[in-house]
Amino acid sequence: MFPAAPMAGYDRAITIFSPEGRLYQVEYAYEAVKRGMTALGVKAVDGVVLAVEKRSTSPLVESAEKIKKIDDHIGVAFAGLFGDARVLIDQARIYAQTHRLVYGEPIPVEMLVKRICDIKQVYTQHGGVRPFGVAFLFAGIDRRGVHLIQTDPGGTYLKCKAKAIGAGAQKAMDLFVKEYRDDMKVEEAVLLALRGLREAMEEGFSPENIELATIDAKNRSFTVFTYDKVAELLAKL
């Protein structure tokens, strides 16, 4: 019988730190996000934009939606493992609807994000489970204003003005650093998001490979753009 590799115990166990202070399984969850298709969000003064790359692995299979509605005032995009995202999105919807029933008002965006991050964090410190290999971009409107919040597999969340996650994130972020402005309107943010997605996608930048959605601050409504509307916007780039 061959002896185990020196790092095998740290590599397999989620609850054991390596001598360097690393949790390898959590780091692998981050790698799952980095290998995912690009998702990005841009915050404007009057709303938030979400845009994602979507691809089908076969012409016989429809591509899965990667922008989801949580409540009338909250939407989410993700990069990473679709199955992991589905479970957490379902839980987010339950939290949102429960809050409405109990308190008679929409759930605050940051409160919802914190609850999802609490679940993620628990899955980094218990044996018999693994971390969620997915990162989210939550976009929402509440009494405190407009929100774009990123979560990571470790349970951390960050408030952002513009953010990209997934395989092409760095290229999109380079563009955002140069062109983002605090006074942008949603119409401008939509075009910036699409330009960021164009930078991130190596090929296939076309309406059928893009999902786009906005949340309007005035009426707090979540809107997913149609194929024709996306095509119209791409023609303006």
pLDDT of the residue at 3: 44
pLDDT of the residue at 51: 98
Convert the pLDDT of each residue in 110-137 to its tens digit.
999 999 999 999 999 887 889 999 999 9
pLDDT of the residue at 92: 99
Residue 59 has pLDDT above 90, yes or no: no
Task: State the chain's mean pLDDT as an integer.
Answer: 92
- The amino acid at 213: A
Higher pLDDT among residues 76 and 61, named by residue: 76
Convert the pLDDT of each residue in 185-228 to its tens digit.
999 999 999 999 999 997 889 999 999 999 999 988 999 999 99
Higher pLDDT among residues 144 and 58, named by residue: 144
Residue 107 has pLDDT above 50, yes or no: yes
pLDDT of the residue at 24: 85
Written as six digits, the tokens of 69 are: 């509605």
pLDDT of the residue at 7: 52
Hey, which CATH number is domain 23-234, 3.40.50.300, 3.60.20.10, 3.40.50.1100, 3.40.640.10? 3.60.20.10
> For residue 43, what pLDDT band results from cuts at 50, 70 and 90?
very high
Query: What is the chain written as a DSSP string?
Result: -PPPPTTHHHHH-SS---TTS--HHHHHHHHHHHTSPPEEEEEETTEEEEEEE---SSTTSPPPP-EEEEETTEEEEEEE-HHHHHHHHHHHHHHHHHHHHHHSSPPPHHHHHHHHHHHHHHTTSSTT-----EEEEEEEEETTEEEEEEE-TTS-EEE-SEEEESTTHHHHHHHHHHH--TT--HHHHHHHHHHHHHHH-SS--SGGGEEEEEEETTTTEEEEPPHHHHHHHHTT-
Residue 15 has pLDDT above 80, yes or no: no
> For residue 5, what pLDDT band results from cuts at 50, 70 and 90?
very low
Residues designated as active site: 38
pLDDT of the residue at 203: 83
The reply to whether the predicted model has a pTM over 0.85 is yes
> For residue 18, what pLDDT band results from cuts at 50, 70 and 90?
confident
Convert the pLDDT of each residue in 67-102 to its tens digit.
999 999 999 999 999 999 999 999 999 999 999 999
Residue 234 has pLDDT above 70, yes or no: yes
Convert the pLDDT of each residue in 126-169 to its tens digit.
878 899 999 999 999 999 999 999 999 999 999 999 999 999 99
Tell me whether strands 162-165 and 210-216 are parallel, antiparallel or unpaired: unpaired
